[in-house]
Amino acid sequence: MFVVDDLLRLPMDLAEKVLDGIVQQIDDEMLNNEASVRKKYMEVVREFEGGQMDEEEYRQKIAFLSARLKELKQER
Q: What is the pLDDT of residues 53-64, one digit of tens each?
A: 999 999 999 999
In the chain, the largest separation of any two C-alpha atoms, in whole Å, equals 64
What 3 state SS string does 25-72 have? Answer: HHHHHHCCCHHHHHHHHHHHHHHHHCCCCCHHHHHHHHHHHHHHHHHH
* Span 12-31, average pLDDT: 86
pTM greater than 0.75: no
- Band of pLDDT at residue 12, cut at 50, 70 and 90: confident
Domain span at residue 61 reads 2-75
pLDDT at 1: 61
Judged against a pLDDT cut of 90, whether residue 2 lies above it is answered with no
pLDDT over 90 for what percent of the chain? 54
Number of structural domains found in the chain? 1
